[in-house]
Amino acid sequence: MDARIIALATDDAHRFSKPTRASVRLIAGIGIEGDVHAGVMVKHRARVKQDPDALNLRQVHLIHAELLDEMREQGFSVGPGDLGENVTTQGIDLLGLSSGTRLRLGAEAVVEVTGLRNPCRLINENIAKGAMAATLDRAPDGSLVRKAGVMAIVVSGGEVRAGDPISIESRPETFVAMEPV
């Protein structure tokens, strides 16, 4: 299956879920036009409290539709945008990418993966009790696996539409395991 964008979502206010859109405009170094998390400096409320001068490594949140499918199979009612993501993907192993991988979204836009989204308690509060646990797993060695998607910065801007293809533009020479950002 070719990798593609299933849905796009953005919101101009800090709300957990984001309404879906037919298209969004990515702006290099900023994020998604009109989204509350767009900006050079960190916008995530908890991270602003920690360090308001930190660079924004969370300009775009990508999540794989396969996770939403998994969650629905477990009885949770979730769809694109419900977990606060901007880009819902299909057919690409987001969690298996190296930090620093660049993805082309559609014809023009390129994002660089910066790390993992760390799921928070708001998933339980906004989706249903136990939903956060559905976004976590354990690796064979017992380490925690965060499945709630990846974060990225915008390298090259452009218009992106639901249905657009996703391709790997480049990978770092050496694999760098993603950490939460």
The verdict on residue 181 lying in a domain is no
The list of the chain residues with pLDDT below 50 reads none
Secondary structure, 3-state, the chain: CCCEEEEEECCCCCCCCCCEECEEEEECCCEECCCCCCCCECCCHHHHHHCCCCECCCCEEEEEHHHHHHHHHCCCCCCCCCCCCCEEEECCCHHHCCCCCEEEECCCEEEEEEEECCCCCHHHHHCCCCHHHHCEEECCCCCEEECCCEEEEEEECEEEECCCEEEEEECCCCCCCCCEC
Owning domain of residue 95: 4-170
Report the CATH number that the domain containing residue 58 is assigned in CATH.
Answer: 2.40.33.20
* Cβ atoms within 10 Å, residue 5: 24
Task: Tell me whether residue 107 is exposed, middle or buried, using C-beta atoms within 10 angstroms of its C-beta: 0 to 12, 13 to 18, 19 or more.
Answer: exposed
Cβ-contact 157, 109 below 8 angstroms:
yes
The verdict on residue 180 lying in a domain is no
The verdict on residue 43 lying in a domain is yes
Domain count, the chain: 1
User: pLDDT tens digits, residue range 117-140?
Assistant: 999 889 999 999 999 999 999 999
The verdict on residue 113 lying in a domain is yes
pTM: 0.96
The verdict on residue 166 lying in a domain is yes
User: Which backbone phi and psi does 73 adopt, to 5 degrees?
Assistant: -60, -25
State the amino acid at position 135 in one-letter form: T
Question: Token pair of 30, please?
Answer: 């900023």
Q: What's the pLDDT score for residue 127?
A: 95
